[in-house]
Amino acid sequence: MDTEEYLIEEKSHILALNELSQILEERIKDDYYDIIKGKVTSDFLEKVLALNTAIKAVIYCMRVKRKECYKQIDSDYEDEFVYDFTFKK
């Protein structure tokens, strides 16, 4: 697979993972009252938070790889993303 095909294919994966991460965050926010009242087990919450962190790390690595691919195509390419910014709507 050449660089351009990779970039096209990988974009949909990044967007899907990002959406999954946002769904998890929204679910945690929606259930915050139940969480602080202890209606959701801390073990479950820790697993969800760990899963979301893992998803964000994968997305970040994918973005770094995309940046490298874009640099191969255009040496002047700039992408000033940071870990936290990558996951904001």
Contact 37, 9 (CB under 8 A): no
Q: pLDDT for 8-53, tens place per residue?
A: 888 888 889 989 989 988 888 888 777 778 787 778 888 888 998 9
pTM over 0.75, yes/no: no
d(CA 31, CA 25): 10
The pair of three-digit structure tokens given for residue 81, joined into one six-digit string: 């993303």
In this prediction, residue 89 has a pLDDT band, given cuts at 50, 70 and 90, of very low
CB atoms within 10 A of CB 13: 12
Query: What is the pLDDT at residue 80?
Result: 67
